[in-house]
Amino acid sequence: MLDALTVATSVAALALAAWCGFAAYRDQPTKDWHFIGMAVVSLLALVQLIVGIVQLVRGEKPEQGTTIFVGYLLGALACIPAVGFMSLAERTRWGSVTVAAGGVVLAVLEVRLYDIWGG
Amino acid sequence: MAVSEENGTVAGQQKTRPRLISGPGMLLVWLYGVMVVGAVSRSIVQIATEFDHAPLAYSLSAIAGVVYGFITYSLVRGGETARRAALVCCAAELAGVLIVGTWTLVEPSAFPDATVWSDYGMGYLFIPVLLPVTAMFWLRRARGAAGAES
């Protein structure tokens, strides 16, 4: 369950990065549709956090430690909302580039999460 | 001096500070912010749980986190003083990455565990070595945008 979510979230994050990268290439700021995309990716990260905590409560142990695991889950959740607000403050193509960078960072976090959980 | 002309950016404070986070600056703030969270949280966890394992490596990560934090704050704050301070810190950061990176390659025994700056920041996609160079270009350019003060 958790592994499937990790894969889904990283794919969604990379798709968001490509989409916003394309917007930046066309010299456009982030639009409503982009924010809906960010909401979807953030929702996946939220579900992942909840599932991760449920797994911990049920007594499963992440391979590299509970603290690091929860830290990365929280980081993954905060990632996309943070770039979303930054792109609201920067209504140029550079706002889109920032969101694209946020998607890439989230994908990297997901790879690390996969290792930490020991999948 | 009243209005920074380029990009039509007007800092709306009582005293106009040249903004450092317009355009590409926003991307820099994001990447530096990620490095702050990464370096600081990593060093806190490692210093709290296993400091004796590799004290040098964990202390260097903590220092890196503080430097990143200061640069991020300077970028967000804006203004000529902050720009200069950030420029100095970026130079220090670049020197740190190069020195520590070389150090980890020459004498791996001093580092039982990795730091943020090990192998020129390879574990962080080389962002630690690319970021200060990009930031220094950006900050030098921002001086022109701020007009002929100073």
Per-residue pLDDT tens digits for B116-135: 888 888 888 888 999 999 99
Tell me how far the alpha carbon of residue B32 is from its chain's centroid: 6
- Residue A37 makes CB contacts below 8 A (sequence gap 6+) with A15, A16, A19
Closest by CA to A19, choosing from A115, A96, A109, A117, is A96
Residue B2 has pLDDT above 60, yes or no: no
Q: Which of B21, B30, B45 sits opposite A101 (nearest CB)?
A: B30
Q: Which of A68, A75, A95 sits opposite B45 (nearest CB)?
A: A68
Quote the percentage of chain B above a pLDDT of 70. Answer: 85
Please give the interface size between A and B, counted as residue pairs whose CB atoms are below 8 Å apart: 39
Q: What is the dihedral of CA B49, A65, B59, B63, to 10 degrees?
A: -130
Burial (CB count within 10 angstroms: exposed 0-12, middle 13-18, buried 19+), residue B82: buried
Q: What is the pLDDT of residue B121?
A: 87
Residues A43-84 have pLDDT tens digits of: 999 999 999 999 999 999 999 989 999 999 999 999 999 999
Taking an 8 Å cut-off on Cβ atoms, the answer to whether B33 and A82 are in contact is yes
End-to-end CA, chain A: 11
Question: Hey, how many other C-beta atoms are within 10 angstroms of the C-beta on B144?
Answer: 9
Domain count, chain A: 1
Taking an 8 Å cut-off on Cβ atoms, the answer to whether A108 and B21 are in contact is no
Q: Which of B22, B23, B41 sits opposite A71 (nearest CB)?
A: B41
Q: CA of B31, closest CA in chain A: separation in Å?
A: 8
Domain positions in chain B: 21-142
Tokens of B40: 């600081």
How many residues are there in chain A? 119
Cα–Cα distances in angstroms (integers) from residue A6 to residues A43, A67, A113, A116, in the given order: 13, 18, 8, 12
Taking an 8 Å cut-off on Cβ atoms, the answer to whether A90 and B41 are in contact is no
Q: What residues of A are in contact with residue B26 (Cβ under 8 Å)?
A: 86-87, 89-90, 94-95, 98
Q: What residues of A are in contact with residue B25 (Cβ under 8 Å)?
A: 94
B129/B48 Cα distance (integer angstroms): 27
| Sign of the CA dihedral with A53 first, then A56, A61, and A67 last | positive
For residue B30, what pLDDT band results from cuts at 50, 70 and 90?
A: very high
Taking an 8 Å cut-off on Cβ atoms, the answer to whether A90 and B125 are in contact is no
Q: What is the dihedral of CA A22, A28, A32, A33, to 10 degrees?
A: -20
Taking an 8 Å cut-off on Cβ atoms, the answer to whether A82 and B29 are in contact is no
Tell me how far the alpha carbon of residue A95 is from its chain's centroid: 17
Domain span at residue A83? 2-117
Residues B84-125 have pLDDT tens digits of: 999 999 999 999 999 999 999 999 888 888 888 888 888 888
Q: What is the pLDDT of residue A31?
A: 94
DSSP A59: T
Q: Which of B26, B33, B45 sits opposite A90 (nearest CB)?
A: B26
- Residue B104 makes CB contacts below 8 A (sequence gap 6+) with B110, B111, B114, B115, B117, B118, B119
B92/B98 Cα distance (integer angstroms): 10
Residues B5-14 have pLDDT tens digits of: 444 444 444 4
Instruction: Give one DSSP letter per residue of B11-24, joined into a string.
Output: --SSSPPPPSSSTH
